Amino acid sequence: MAAGEATRIRGPDARTTFLGAAAGALGLFGAIAAAMLTGVVAGWDRTVFGSLYSGDSDWPLGPTPGQGSALLQEIVPALYWLADTRKLVLAIAAVAVLLAARRRFRAAAFYLGCVAAAGASVLLKPLFERSSPFPATSEFSFPSGHAMLSMSMVAGLVLLALGRPWLWPVAVAGALLVGAVAVAVVADGGHWPSDVAAGWTLALAWALALRGLAGDPLAGGGR
């Protein structure tokens, strides 16, 4: 079998795999959203939030052991620093500039396209109108924009790294970043854990669909 024939066979298979995975992630988002719309906070949501919330005020829905965790209190300031939107946007810009400087223009466009998914949270929050764990806050919480932003920037990099030597370092560092942002946005009392899970699944669905439709942006030089 010629190399070109093998490529043509693998291409549709890869596209189907990515689009199928995107549909699965979207289905998970739908399930989380449907559960949230019942208006009942799931037990796991309450438990995880209560374990991570590290604010100074008491949570009206129950105890928050996170307030008494010395380790959590030590690391939360660093997590807040990592979760700062300006720092995340600067990191995204740095990746895009680096790709463009290396003349990987298709890869840069793909990466920015993945990150663009985070903007959907601004449109979706008023539709779902979910109050944060502290209803006194003025903003809706579902889905988490920070979770979408961190997951989309990491997913975009991981999808670019597929099949390349730098995949695992990117995946491990990305997982740590996504986890840090998730803990930070729950610990500050602004999001339920399910807000974060919804943001993750929606960002993944978009990135996977984009990868399925665009193919490998680095193939053939990626220009």
pLDDT at 7 over 50: no
Q: In this predicted model, what pLDDT tens digit does every residue of 63-96 receive, in sequence order?
A: 666 766 777 778 888 989 989 999 999 999 999 9
pLDDT in tens, 162-218: 988 989 999 999 999 999 999 999 988 889 999 999 999 999 999 999 999 988 898
pLDDT of residue 189: 83
Give the global pTM: 0.87
Residue-wise burial string across 24-39, b where 16 or more C-beta atoms lie within 10 A, e elsewhere: ebbebbeebbeebeee
Provide the pLDDT for residue 15.
Answer: 87
Q: At residue 3, does pLDDT exceed 60?
A: no
pLDDT single digits (tens) 116-140:
988 889 899 999 988 888 755 667 8
Can you say whether residue 48 is alpha, beta or left, with left for phi > 0 and alpha for psi between -120 and 50 degrees? alpha
pLDDT tens digits along 34-61: 999 988 878 888 888 888 887 666 666 6
Domain boundaries, the chain: 9-221
pLDDT category, 11, cuts 50, 70, 90? Answer: low
How many CB atoms sit inside 10 A of residue 48's CB? 20
At residue 135, the pLDDT reads 59
CB–CB of 216/223 below 8 Å? Answer: no
pLDDT score of 195: 96
Q: Give CA 220 to chain center in angstroms.
A: 28
**What is the reported pLDDT for 223?**
54
